[in-house]
Structure 1
């Protein structure tokens, strides 16, 4: 139930981890050389500092490129009806769930995928994919406010698309992302292929469906929880990882289960032990909050933290105060707040 997201995460490890390691050590070297330079005013220390700074900057640039390419590859697997996402220089900006209004006034749930040069609007198909319905070049678009709450008119040369968001935070985030991306695209005016790919029903339900797993990929979680994520959030997600043994307890259960828990890409993956390759289950954390148990929860153990999304509640128990603080610190991210600014 987690393989698409786990595949995405594991795919970037060979090169992505190398970039992270190079960046980390270059930052340490820069810090040490700065102190040495300040103490000795040596020309060699200054030259070494400049070289390490350039290496760190290059590693960061390479890391962003790897993350963006991995994101485009994952989204191309998630989307059918448009097979031209993997284009050089294209950057992922934002994805999420919105409400699209038809010409007859009907409101339909839609997924919107924003890139540096185009806006793709899709619906969730019976196969679990997102089926593209329209691809709009950004340099031809402009935004207009709507009388409806949390709504934006996306105006093309030939049509207008009215979309609504679930709250003020989502509305502000989408308005800012769209405005900035449209402005940047108008300066570049990149040629965009907007032709949709024909997919018949048999192909949608068989051949394409064999490679999709819908439970954990961020695009599917955003769909079910009416939220969105940005490229900055994904960058943070890839840097925020933690693993270790925890005891897990459900809201209405009595016992605790010891599991090896991996936190990656804003999801918890549960294993029987650290040696297992396949997770038993997973928990996407978009929208979850992390806190200490309340008195009404009836938890009398030490080092316990609580994860909650609406009526879904989970308790996790660490083996020490240090481990407890480490987990709650890592889990306290903007992505997990119930009213985050995505």
Structure 2
């Protein structure tokens, strides 16, 4: 890291040429006061848009037409939040630069200035998280055809996802949404979108593993919920997802029971409205689940740049401008195009390195796949490859435990790849290395020197 910011090739440049740290410090310092005002006023802006949308049908219709356009990939609230996301990127970058500069005793002053900017950005973190919750409630209100009652200052979103609920007709697919005060069930209609089935308070709820109704042969995928005098049997498609839901519901119930009544939301009645949906659809079709931690961390994984894309059955690589945001890949013909060619939600996708039977003979290639869908992406450098691989791996929250193991193994393979490339670079840069050494011998020399 330090070598990246203190590269020897930069030390021979004229003194008046600023370094990357100086440029970033100046940019962040000058923009910080404007961003601070924007963050402070963002709750007002977002609330005003939400209120005006409900009060003015003409504005709501115009906004809906805008968001339904092919060139408009996200809703207006996400676009508003995207401006604040830049502060999250700055904070991450400043933290890395401070750590790098602290390794050099001559950079204490610069590190102190960068650190002060990073602290200023950290103070806005709570505001940003509050805005994420608010926008999530607005999105869920659109998805679930709810006008009033869902958004509450004391309510917090925890998790959403797909589960099956036992009915007289057997297991039926549902979306389940967990808040800090309630659990919401909804099913999908072919004509009316998502329809809310139940809104269960957590304070009187109990949850246990297994099948309390004794209607299934394999209870390891089930959990039983008891609330409002009824018993609900839920089932997932793997034990890992079942365990995630069980632990988070149990924790939410404990927190709700230990909270004062006045600290919990009081609204449990909703009106209806009809608007298109977003990530809830993805969870429905992919049988996936998304938690609030993944949603809050999503801005740190946003990227854009040129990638070469190839399908499994094709031979040609196509150069595209790719934007990764909000758990999706958006493809453009170039960075100057306004309308995307396609949008690919990557929740539950698996990212890996190409296999031998994929017959990929290029470097810096990774594979993104889901069931029979498979895409290959190629970058122009190892650094770009590592950044894209990591950001997509964080967003492709796979629901399969095998995918988790595979991702871990791929990450380990990736570390070995980085180290091997670094080792070969070291061979060429270090004069006293014998280039006739085997790779094992070179690894031994590297370990001894480190």
TM-score, structure 2 as length reference: 0.64
The separation in 2 between residues aligned to 1:252 and 1:332, in whole angstroms, is 24
- Deviation string, structure 1 residues 23-42 (Cα, Å, up to 9, x no partner): 458757976998999x99xx
The yes-or-no answer on 1:240 pairing with 2:290 is no
- Secondary structure of the residue aligned to 2:380 is coil
Q: In structure 1, how many angstroms separate the alpha carbons of the residues matched to 2:317 and 2:114? A: 51
1:136 aligns with 2:197: no
Contact between 2:224 and 2:231, CA under 8 Å: does it hold in 1? yes
Are 1:175 and 2:249 matched, yes or no? no
Q: Matched residues in 1 for 2:345 and 2:71: separation?
A: 10
Name the counterpart of 1:299.
360
The answer (yes or no) to whether the contact 2:181–2:256 under 8 Å persists in 1 is yes
CA distance in 1, matches of 2:122, 2:151: 25
CA distance in 1 between counterparts of 2:71 and 2:345 reads 10
For the structure 1 residues 291 and 78, does the alpha-carbon distance in structure 2 shift closer, same or farther, using more than 3 Å as the test?
A: same
Larger mean CA deviation between 62-71 and 221-230 belongs to 62-71
Deviation, structure 1 residue 49: 11
Offset at residue 264 of structure 1 (A): 1.1
Contact 1:117 1:192 in 2 (8 A): no
Task: Tell me how far apart the structure 2 counterparts of residues 87 and 298 of structure 1 sit (CA, whole Å).
Answer: 53
In the alignment, the residues of structure 2 paired with residue 178 and residue 97 of structure 1 have an alpha-carbon distance, to the nearest angstrom, of: 14
The 1:178–1:172 alpha-carbon spacing in structure 2 relative to 1, beyond 3 Å, is same
d(CA) in 2 for partners of 1:49 and 1:274?
Answer: 31
- Give the corresponding residue for 1:193: 267
Aligned position for 2:46: none
1:266 aligns with 2:330: no
Q: In structure 2, how many angstroms separate the alpha carbons of the residues matched to 1:249 and 1:145?
A: 44
Question: How many residues are matched?
Answer: 322
**Residue 282 (structure 1) aligns with:** 343
For residues 96 and 363 of structure 2, the distance between their equivalents in structure 1, rounded to whole angstroms, comes to 36
Superposed displacement of residue 233, structure 1:
1.0
- Structure 1, unpaired ranges of 5+: none
| 2:230 equivalent to 1:159 | yes
TM-score, normalised by the number of residues in structure 1:
0.82
C-alpha distance 300-20 of structure 1, shift in aligned 2 (>3 A): closer
**CA–CA separation in structure 2 for the residues paired with 1:163 and 1:2:** 38
Task: Choose between structure 1 and 2 for higher RCO, CA contacts under 8 A separated by at least 6 residues.
Answer: 1
Secondary structure in structure 2 of the residue aligned to 1:173: helix
Q: Which runs of 5+ in 2 are unaligned?
A: 1-69, 212-218, 405-450
What is the DSSP-based 3-state SS (H/G/I as helix, E as strand, rest coil) of the residue aligned with 1:258? strand
Q: What is the aligned partner in structure 1 of residue 430 from structure 2?
A: none
The alignment partner of 2:220 has SS state of coil
Residue 146 of structure 1: how far off its partner (Å): 2.8
Using the TM superposition, give the Cα deviation of residue 337 of structure 1 relative to its aligned residue in structure 2, in angstroms. Answer: 3.6
In the alignment, the residues of structure 1 paired with residue 220 and residue 97 of structure 2 have an alpha-carbon distance, to the nearest angstrom, of: 51
Higher share in helix: 2
RMSD: 3.2
Residues 286-337 of structure 1: per-residue CA shift (max 9 Å, x gap): 1112222112112222322111112111111212233222211222227444
User: SS of the residue aligned with 1:330?
Assistant: helix
Are 2:156 and 1:91 equivalent residues in the alignment?
yes
SS in 1 for 2:391: helix
Other structure's SS at 1:184 match: helix
CA change 1:27–1:298 in 2 (3 A) is closer
Shift of 1:266: 1.9
Where does residue 121 of structure 1 map in the other structure? 185
Task: State the shift of 1:165 in Å.
Answer: 1.3
Are the structure 2 counterparts of residues 118 and 28 from structure 1 closer, same or farther at C-alpha, using a change threshold of 3 Å? same
Q: Matches of 2:356 and 2:115 in 1, distance apart? A: 55
Among 134, 137, 155, the residue aligned to 1:72: 137
Q: Taking structure 1 as reference, are residues 49 and 35 closer, same or farther at Cα in structure 2, changes over 3 Å only?
A: farther
Output the CA distance in 2 between the equivalents of 1:332 and 1:242. Answer: 13
**Comparing both structures, which one devotes a greater share of its residues to strand?**
1
Check the 8 A contact 2:200/2:228 in 1, yes or no: no
Which protein has the larger Cα radius of gyration, Structure 1 or Structure 2? 2
CA offset at residue 158 of structure 1?
Answer: 2.4
Aligned to 1:11: 80
2:320 matches 1:251: no
CA distance in structure 2 between the aligned counterparts of 1:158 and 1:2, rounded to whole angstroms: 48
- Larger deviation: 294-303 or 230-239? 294-303
